[in-house]
Structure 1
Amino acid sequence: MQLKRTLPVVILGIAPAAIVLLILASILYGAKNITASEIWNSIFAFNADNVDHQIIISSRLPRVVGALLIGAFLAVSGALMQGMTRNYLASPSIMGVSDGSVFAVTICMVFLPNTSPHLYITSSLIGSALGAGIVFGLAWCIPHGLSPVKLAIIGSIIGTFLSGTAHAIATYYQVSQNISFWYNARLHQMDPELIRLSIPFAIVGLTLALIISKSISALSLGEEVAKGLGIRTWLTKALAILAVVLLTGVSVALAGKVAFVGLIIPHIARFCSGSDYRWIIPVSGVLGGIFLALCDIVARFINYPFETPVGVVTALIGVPFFLYLIRTRGGAQRE
């Protein structure tokens, strides 16, 4: 019990140093290795004619910052979904939320080409809400639809439908090459302007997550228990869904669909922090960012010097983890 109290503090305490080291490693290593002195010079004596300086400022720095943010957003989203539904398989990629965002971005690119980055973020948020609404709407209409396995099946079916429809539309209108970025989650194409525009939405989503964290802890014990503690469960769920939509929507707008981060990391955070979501949510955010940034570095060396989509690395870790959860915990909701 004492370890559960001190471990989250230790994780959050060492996180800044770990993040700085990850940023340095991400900038240093890739298809073209860069020296530490060039990093220093690019920050304090930037030279637009220096190729290394251009790579650092316009590519590698936005890439690692984007990976840290996206990992944090998806992990917090997964923690909220798992706590709200008491479903250990809940995550944005499995529940159709990410696929809804990809679907909406595809529609936007087909029918509103050459549009502003604002509209990509807006369409991704709308799609995220659409995916979540369809999946949870169907789950609440089906007997025991919120049980882990049934909810995962519904989410997979709806997600496959939305993703398949998006592919069909993109192929029909011959824009599949242009939108491949959103299907393959290529972090090396990170747009600094999109990162800047996504920050306000992310701040709102993270703030909501922290505000309702205590209520999520109560809700994770069961709806009746939460009501007995005076928690307005409908309001907590509504705010949690809003936070998930915001965080998942900006994540997909930034780099496309990244699977399994929102499934794996909340379980690790819960193992480290116990059952209190006031700790689980910030720890999930920190571990999620570190996890995705590490996966991105690993992805660069799988087929060196060519880039491998980071989703391949997260899937190699996430699929066995997903099967492990089903095998060890069965199909019932978390007690």
Structure 2
Amino acid sequence: MNQTNINANKQLPPKHERHKMFGSVPAGPRTKPVEKEQMVDLQNTKKDFLFDLDAVGITNVKHPIKINSSMKPEIQTTIGTFRFSSSIGKGSKGTNMSRFTEQLDQYHNEGFAIDLETLKRFTKELAARLKQKDAEVEVTYPWFFERKGPFSDLAGMNHADATMKVQYHEDTGYDVEVSLKGTITTLCPCSKEISEYSAHNQRGQVTMSVKLTDDFDENQTDWKAALLEASESNASARIHPVLKRPDEKAVTEQAYENPRFVEDIVRLVAADLYELPYVEKFYVSCQNEESIHLHDAIAEVTYDKTQE
């Protein structure tokens, strides 16, 4: 018997009856107002609620965005994961959550291209919409970039996770922080030193967060490419999406010639970030997924150039 005959022989109750079978009940009486002006606004209740709150808002908001890149593809459409917040004083019960997504939709309809100047404007306008002195916007997104094989020149797409965070306060202005998490190859110096031949290697995750100076010009410098270069140029080898045999030989030999501990990586990356004039302070971490251990190796460094 075919599927059509099987379905035709089974008699199901109407859909509304099926809903009743699984717990649906008739609507009850409606006694509360339906007009916004007549509804109780609990968030705007004003009295002493004990404590000021550093941040109130929404997070894990996924939304399509556009980004520009100095590396191919130069114009990208990707997905941003947002966090929006502001502080509130103890005299306010809460914030109006809908205002965050209301403004996000407004910017989306205008073509939401993510750059630092746009996020600055967004954050300042958000503070005004919330009737607060401050606001903060953070967005994380996958950034794609073309990578060619070192010998074959065959190209493919790599990606890193980029984050932009803008804080605004009407008294102090803006604080801008950007982050990048990229993937590298490291070869163990100890393994190379003690072994008769070969050495084990691993895949590492380098995370960099930097506070940018007030005069940083995103039109002159692509911070994503700069942070990527700081991590990859100090690795044992770069990660490639397409490798033919001559490429694999070149990458393997390069890694062998440039052994790195996690400690080496964070210090070398820190040195590059220190030399960037538009970086005020930075954090660098490297986490290696060890190939001959069950644990990972990690190292971190934080440095504030303004405290020198």
TM-score normalized by the length of structure 2: 0.30
More RCO (CA 8 Å, sep 6+): 1
**Structure label with greater radius of gyration:** 2
Larger strand share, 1 or 2: 2
Query: Higher helix proportion, which one?
Result: 1
| TM-score normalised by length of structure 1 | 0.28
